[in-house]
Amino acid sequence: MLLDLTLRPNRSLSRDHARWLVLAVGGLFLLGSIRFLVLGMWPVIPFMIADVALLAWALRSNFRSGGNHERLVLAQDQLTLTRVSPWGETRVVTFEPWYTQVQIEETPLGDALLFLATHGRRVVVGGFLSPPERREVGAVIREALARYRNGDRPSTSAMA
């Protein structure tokens, strides 16, 4: 196997840290709501509760979307891209490695888009990665394809 690469989205908080963040914000808002209640501004309290609920929902959605990943495998004369969605749906795309090109498109805003292209078909790879990470992944895939084309691949022939 010349390449076995799993790409996952970056997450800055762990689930435990996200819980602590929601609890800390909720605690601060609780103290603030007591003050608002004492001052007679009680209509503010439902909005503070809604803010904490929306923060918890946003972090939960963020972690759910972090469940998606992509896996690239170059083995046995084919390059396979397997995409798994946050809900577990799997989509597999196969390429003939001899004809597959790695294309990195630079945008005017400094973004880099990574594509695998062959026979008029282009597939985006690592759309959730940052531009430097996409460039790095593109270089790794290019190197693996170059090794494959130079004969550094396991033979699938029964005669070898």
φ, ψ of residue 77 in degrees (nearest 5): 60, 30
Number of domains in the chain: 2
Per DSSP, the residues of 60-126 read HHHHHHTT-EEEEEEETTEEEEEEE-TTS-EEEEEE-TTT-EEEEEEPTTS-EEEEEEETTEEEE--
| 156 found inside a domain | no
Q: Are residues 85 and 107 in the same domain?
A: yes
In a domain, 59, yes or no: yes
How many other CB atoms are found less than 10 A from the CB of residue 152? 10
For residues 55 and 73, membership in a common domain is answered with no
Give the per-residue pLDDT at 50. 96
**Statement to judge: residues 50 and 74 lie in one domain:** no
pLDDT at 21: 95
Q: Is residue 102 located within the same domain as residue 140? A: yes
pLDDT tens, 23-35?
A: 999 999 999 999 9
Query: Is residue 157 included in any domain, yes or no?
Result: no
Give domain status of residue 143, yes or no: yes
Residues of the chain with pLDDT under 70: 152-160
- The domain spanning residue 74 has which CATH number? 2.30.29.30
Residue 90 lies in a domain: yes
40 with 87, same domain: the answer is: no
User: What is the extent of the structural domain holding 53?
Assistant: 15-65
Same domain, 72 and 134: yes
| Residue 63 tokens, joined | 């972690």
Q: What is the pLDDT of residue 85?
A: 87
- Distance in angstroms (rounded) separating the CA atoms of residues 114 and 134: 6
3-state secondary structure 2-68: CEEEEECCCCCCCHHHHHHHHHHHHHHHHHHHHHHHHCCCHHHHHHHHHHHHHHHHHHHHHHHHCCC
Residues 72 and 106 in one domain: yes
Contacts of 81 (CB under 8 A, 6+ apart): 70, 71, 72, 92, 93, 94, 95, 116, 123, 125
Q: What angle do CA 94, 5, 91 make, to 5 degrees?
A: 40
Q: Quote the pLDDT of residue 43.
A: 92
Are the CB atoms for 3 and 141 separated by under 8 Å?
yes
Q: Do residue 106 and residue 45 come from a single domain?
A: no
CA gap 64, 30 in Å, rounded? 28
Per-residue pLDDT, 154: 56
